[in-house]
Structure 1
Amino acid sequence: MDELTIAMPKGRIFEEAYELLVKAGYDLPKELDDSRKLIVEAPNERFRFILAKPMDVPVYVEHGVADIGIAGKDVMLELDRSVHELLDLGISRCYIATAGLPNTEMNPVTPRIATKYPKIASRFYRGKGEQVEIIELNGSIELAPMIGLADRIVDIVSTGKTLKENGLVEYEQIVDITSRLIANPVSYRLKQQRIRELVENLRKQAKA
């Protein structure tokens, strides 16, 4: 039986994906859930997990160091990597939205948009026929309108609690996000039977 190398992000996606795999009948080590290791073996299933940052998962899959991976649709839209998207797992539901200070207009000349999703933000505003300046940030995006760096932010919204706590309001929803199972094209050909079996097992759980 072929070993499968699976790239997974740490955090919420990992926790929900781990639960989905267990429910699908896979025998995974319990220490996988709280391990500080970056590579963890699941010998009973011939799985090898690479635990990575969310933005790195599609990179590992595209370059073939991982056969398959689990990545948020936000990451897929932003990075646009050459991988096969096999299944919407329906986990880690959230959406990307624009937000800013309440009752404020955008700069009429060149609005400034702060985000860690520059491609998604650019496509959104370009689609509306609006010319904006994109300011790329990696953390604490909510700060940007508060300190006058940007008119709006484009960011992931789950519950809206973080926006509210920082005095921001949501203006427009851009796209719904869930986590997807992705595959390296070559691995998909070479290990097709194993990967298809995994897809079907996860599909049943995703529907349930």
Structure 2
Amino acid sequence: MSTIELLFALLKGLRVTLTVAFFAIALAFVLSFVVGFGRLSKIKFIRAISTIYVEVIRGTSLLVQLFWIYFALPIIGIRMTAMMAGIIALGLNGGAYGSEIVRSSIISVPVGQTEASIALNFTPRQRMWRIILPQAFVMMLPGFGNLQIEILKGTALVSLITLGDLTYRANVINASTMETTKIFTILLLIYFLIAWPMTRGIEWIEKKLTVGRY
């Protein structure tokens, strides 16, 4: 096959990769804040549940998590499509790591900021949303940029549960043509071209939010 033919054959899996990546990143972002705040909660039960979730996810393989959701859960009656399993596995995994970005960024805000807001008689909610979180969010951006790239790269694993993403298409084409070097070089370039604007986008947001701060 020519390079152009290989490219178009691979791009048949692009929609699946982008769909899984988009929804997994969205889920991870939401979980990052929910669990991150949970780990900072004054309520012991919420803090314990959040900690258990983070430690279990970070302490086990993403591949095993994906297989468990797709192959083990149906045994107890919980069935889902391969795409849904991929989104949930990647989202849960990313959320655990993202929650540490949120938690560490919040506690990195200088204590003087909190003390000043207390002196101004701000409520705890006002302190968090008006003073602490805006500063912490800027610190979170580089970590979230790396996290979304890791989730994008993790989408390659969904090919192992028969989801026809880019990597799945590459393996199928390679099995029939044996043009391994050409196929996987093109695949590398496709992933890079997807990741590049994501990275630049985070950098652009970071620059916009830091204007006038330093």
Report the TM-score, using the length of structure 1 for normalisation. Answer: 0.26
Q: Which has the higher helix share?
A: 2
Q: Which has the higher strand share?
A: 1
Larger radius of gyration: 2
